[in-house]
Structure 1
């Protein structure tokens, strides 16, 4: 017991000395060098975006994917984590914010006390925050292009594209915009996860009012939304609700894409579907109502586009059969009477519709969308006929 008390006093004295040093001279490099001396090894500190902040020796080449994985592991655990290559990853946390990650490689045979690691992490957090405040106030560092867009700061498309390229993303290629809101607020851990995700995907990120805004290269908004929800929920240990929009391309599509993804998220939450992930196009009729202006073409395409293309290629009368099926209260027999065909013909056509649209097209929500899309096409056809009549009459 007495030995334990002596050890506790030594740790407390060492901690006091370390904190006093940092308060007197908030130098992250000094903290890193002192830790490297203590463990007879190497120490590296890097920001959530993978940028190396300090190193005990020569600064290594940034291996952003490996560094992102190490940061994710450390901040998920909330304590030092031993990695496969004998390094230790230590989360540097200030309040609720995960500000950085420390990698430590002890010398051969060195046993590292986790209490010392915790102390150095705290000292590094203090030094980092002080230095960050000075740097932000005195340097002209490029702002994140996504931050400028969301803050409505004026910037040309060329300037946004240039800054995005510096961050590793080509806005001229297709991308998806995602807004993810966890059920419980955890700004620091959300920042760490978002930084890790965008480093791995090659995208952009911003944290806005407790939600992560992500710009991710790709063309499948639905799959990206599902991926984000699954990863974020697993990392935070709580539900995450996700709305996505796209694909879009070009710097000018960033803000409209964000607005559509935000409206998608708001719609999901308004419907009481917390923990769900969906793209704007998956909202169906609700997405049509939320569009500004209403995107009717996109709604029809997303709802029955495969049916229309199949009819165009094979003259299969699937659209006509669907319309008759709904007009006959979903009775294949009565639909067959309307079409003057055998009920088996209607059955085969409806099976083909299922092949094209999936098994969910007869579920209540999707069925409403299908009927609305058919009505839109019918009204358009009637309007075209009406505009032709005066000319026909004059002839």
Structure 2
């Protein structure tokens, strides 16, 4: 009855809500009680299967268990009785450990514990050896076959109990993990819903930054792809400067997914920084910055940042879509306005009012061009310039009309929208800021009350004249062009073209017929301030050749190129001719 009762208790405990270590101690205690050992222990391999550890025991001292498990380890590749039994799957008994050579390493701890004899029996479940059940006697002892068979019988029951307890432990761990995952998923959904609610309530990126700062308990800064600050939340910290953030952006540390990554930032502030990229397609459209290190973040904080990255990308996409629609509508409106002459029709004025523009008041036309070293970089600069000038215009009432037209950026700026700084200067500065590799040239027309198309044509012509004369990266007004500026204001542009053609026609015709270079000589002559030697140097010809060509021009046109009136006439005609008939 003692055996049956003990085995029944062992099976019941293994199937109950008892952890594995308690079951192992119960196995050791049962073996000691039923078989009369002085001490018992259950040894189980460690996680790396390099050593056998005493995991359950009865009668053994805490000091003995500690020493065997630490400074006197039972390695699985050793010749200890436990290791041999584990590998062979057979009982291994030692009558007297003091005379056993293979036991020399543990002789000291055995003497301290006070045992002389040991038997190790494998715990076998199916084809797997789980560990060993060890019995110890304080005196020298010869283990009989009957004793070993009884120990094997108990070990078999113990193996079943250990397997059951291990499965229950694994099931409890799995259940706990599933609960944690369930709770984390629920919390993750709450985080996502909270951040998404901000966007649905039109909280914008500033609202997202505030919600994220509260969720992770840290200040947050969100900047765009050009390191311009979009939003900031939280106080008490100095964020990296735009230049420092730009250096990080050039290294492109962010991966394809919104992963939180530590970054090295050159800063006087001794703070570690974390950043998460916000991607739209392959483009890093924004970055989320906050202080700390990855190890200090819990999984939900990381999840909050990842969700915020996704929600910011949705908000940026919404803003870009709205801006794209607005740009398309503004472009269509500008095309219709510039193609109209005189007073604008009422339907066109109403369309403009719906977009926030009052085209019934006087405007100046601003025409701008960009120049840069690469076509790809220039395309990107145009996109940024349009967005930047549109953003600039949105701060004024009545709102200026901004759109691309004819390959130029055109702005109709209301004369009543007092900006303090001249509008042309503001537009030129805004465009020049989009990239260090581009130059922005802007021309501004006089104020026109109704005919916006005429103002546009004058500003565009002024821009072309200025750029052909090498005047770039600046703001051009008609006053800057002198007599040409006055000529550009003629009511009939055809008259201006006719003036240029009439003045230069004899020279153009002679060049075409005789394949001479009188026109290029005339241009170089005026560009060199009527200095013949300088003209010859620029054309790489002899000064006498220049003199001959100039006399030919005077003969063809019947003029004296030394006459001040002729100088004004021909220099103006050349400028206008190059705009009206390039090449």
Q: Per the shorter chain, which TM-score range? A: 0.3 to 0.5
* Structure number with larger C-alpha Rg: 2
Q: Which structure shows the higher helix fraction? A: 1
Q: Which has the higher contact order (CA 8 A, sep 6+)?
A: 1
